[in-house]
Amino acid sequence: MFMNFWYPVVRAVDLGATPQKVRILAHDFVVFRDDKGQPAVLSDTCIHRGASLAAGKCKDDGTVQCPYHGWRYDREGVCTRIPSIGSKTKPPPRARVDAYPVQEKYGIVFAFLGDLPEEQRPPIMPVPEHGTDEWRSTLVTFDVNYHYERSIENGLDPAHNEYVHTTHGYQGEREDTYLMMELRPEQNNPWGYGFMATFDAPPLKNPIMRQFRKEGGKMEAGSGTYGPNHMWTYINFTAKTSMHQYMFEAPIDENRTRVFLLNQRNIGFFKQSKIGFLGKLFKPRINLWLDKKINERNMFIASQDIKVMNEVKPALTPPSRAKELMMPADKVILQYRDKLDEFEARGWRIDMAALRAAKDRGDVIYAIPCPARRETNAWVLDEVPRVAPSPAAPTLQAVGGG
């Protein structure tokens, strides 16, 4: 798992003035909206006696109040009030918790879980279709019981479609002619790699989905990554009809992952700019009905992956590539692992063995360091242990950071 990337925390519509606990990177965070309605994400551990801030409540001054002794923390993580020392006594400088940069984008609240200054942070994966009149957007979240790297690599694997997804391939019935060899580079960027490929696709049986692909034949599809946990998948049914899917994944821990699936489609809905008076009355309801059906279809496809992935062993990516026999169709998976090696070389990989040892001891709690830690050493909680960076690590500028 890696710090110094943007992670999805919660759907924007699900966040209000009631604190929520969210677990990402095997750490707990509290997320809430302040008195101005702006989202805030803090480390969930009160540095007084270790209580969960998410079990407290939001106050009218934009702070979250600890349920144990009433300490209040603002959106910057600074403690503004300690009741036991009196309302006129200023809390000491170390009375603060880590607070993380936040963006509300694509209907998702993202937090940058790391300490890089703004100009050096990897970007949130761009979604150029979002908010345009030509594309319809839906957002769903779901949890899977496996490691996020395995989840991402499944999305980068074009050869599994033939056997796992009944609507994508022929269930392996074309063994004399089936090949998946040519992956065309697509949207390679400083933070990841991608591909497009040509698939032989059967006709779709589902009456709703048939409008996308009425006949069998050639179909263009592919996937790619931005950082360790953002992935895009383009499915081009025809030259003019497509679904573009964007997965923002939050590793809960080594065994669980929360997926935020943003689906963009340019077919199967009524565009607001092209409907009349009656359309404004009835067609939005049809759009919502189609949204529901599209989401159900996407979750059905995801369930086929989940069924296979739940049984994949080892549960974590093997430390040696010699322990998996990779084929040409696995090229982008190997490129993804190359990127992870680069991120580790910069010192961004969390030392999960040290984190597990601390949990077993039970007498220490760590925090993902926030950018403010570069300004002062006045902190109570220690930074999470990290795998030591390589002496020859590439610079951010060398890989297009910023």
Q: Confirm whether 283 is domain-assigned.
A: yes
Sorting pLDDT into bands at 50, 70 and 90, what band is 182? Answer: confident
**Statement to judge: residues 109 and 185 lie in one domain:** no
**Statement to judge: residues 111 and 165 lie in one domain:** no
Question: Can you give the pTM of this predicted structure?
Answer: 0.90
CA distance linking residue 190 with residue 196, whole number of Å: 18
Q: Confirm whether 32 is domain-assigned.
A: yes
**Statement to judge: residues 320 and 278 lie in one domain:** yes
Q: Confirm whether 364 is domain-assigned.
A: no
Domain span at residue 21? 5-120
CA angle 383/153/187 to nearest 5° reads 95
Which element (helix H / strand E) includes 138?
A: strand 136-144
Joined tokens for residue 280? 């404004």
**Statement to judge: residues 18 and 60 lie in one domain:** yes
Strands annotated E in 162-270 = 184-185, 195-201, 217-226, 230-236, 242-251, 257-265
Last residue of a domain, one of 336, 353, 379: 336
**Statement to judge: residues 77 and 156 lie in one domain:** no
Taking 80 as the threshold, does the pLDDT of residue 202 lie above it? Answer: no
**Statement to judge: residues 257 and 308 lie in one domain:** yes
**Statement to judge: residues 168 and 287 lie in one domain:** yes
Last residue of a domain, one of 336, 354, 371: 336
Average pLDDT (380-398) is 74
Query: What's the confidence (pLDDT) of residue 402?
Result: 32
Query: What's the confidence (pLDDT) of residue 165?
Result: 76
Of residues 170 and 94, more confidence is placed in 94
Taking 80 as the threshold, does the pLDDT of residue 49 lie above it? Answer: yes
Q: Confirm whether 17 is domain-assigned.
A: yes
CA distance linking residue 61 with residue 36, whole number of Å: 9
Of 159, 158, 155, 136, which Cα lies nearest the Cα of 146?
A: 155
Judge whether 72 and 80 are in contact, CB under 8 Å: yes
Q: Confirm whether 346 is domain-assigned.
A: no
Average pLDDT (212-226) is 77
Last residue of a domain, one of 309, 336, 363: 336
CA distance linking residue 214 with residue 237, whole number of Å: 9
Which segment of 9-18, 241-250, 262-271, 307-316 scores lowest on mean pLDDT? 262-271
> Number of folded domains in the chain?
2
CATH of the domain at 293: 3.90.380.10
Give the tens place of pLDDT for each residue, 340-385: 999 999 999 999 999 999 988 999 999 999 999 999 999 999 999 9
Q: What is the mean pLDDT of the chain?
A: 88
The amino acid that residue 194 corresponds to is G
Judge whether 222 and 194 are in contact, CB under 8 Å: yes
Taking 80 as the threshold, does the pLDDT of residue 167 lie above it? Answer: no
**Statement to judge: residues 80 and 207 lie in one domain:** no
Compute CA 322 distance to the chain's CA centroid, rounded to the nearest angstrom: 29
Cα–Cα separations (whole angstroms), residue 31 to 20, 41, 66:
5, 5, 13
Q: Confirm whether 399 is domain-assigned.
A: no
pLDDT above 90 as % of the chain: 69
Token pair 């759009």 is found at 287
Instruction: Specify burial of residue 186 (Cβ count, 10 A radius: 0-12, 13-18, 19+).
Output: middle
CA distance linking residue 44 with residue 123, whole number of Å: 25
Average pLDDT (45-61) is 97
**Statement to judge: residues 326 and 204 lie in one domain:** yes
Spell out the residues 6+ positions from residue 378 whose beta carbon is closer than 8 angstroms to its own: 93, 94, 96
Q: Confirm whether 348 is domain-assigned.
A: no
Q: Confirm whether 311 is domain-assigned.
A: yes
**Statement to judge: residues 203 and 321 lie in one domain:** yes
**Statement to judge: residues 163 and 275 lie in one domain:** yes
Joined tokens for residue 270? 């009524």
CA distance linking residue 225 with residue 246, whole number of Å: 10
Judge whether 152 and 192 are in contact, CB under 8 Å: no
Average pLDDT (202-230) is 75
Q: Which long-range contacts (CB under 8 A, 24 or more apart) does 167-170 make?
A: 167/201, 167/202, 167/204, 167/205, 167/206, 167/209, 167/301, 168/199, 168/201, 168/221, 169/199, 169/200, 169/201, 169/202, 170/200, 170/202
CATH of the domain at 92: 2.102.10.10
**Statement to judge: residues 218 and 253 lie in one domain:** yes
DSSP line for 308-374: HHTT-SSSS--SSGGGS---GGGHHHHHHHHHHHHHHHTT-BB-HHHHHHHHHH-S--EEPPPGGGG
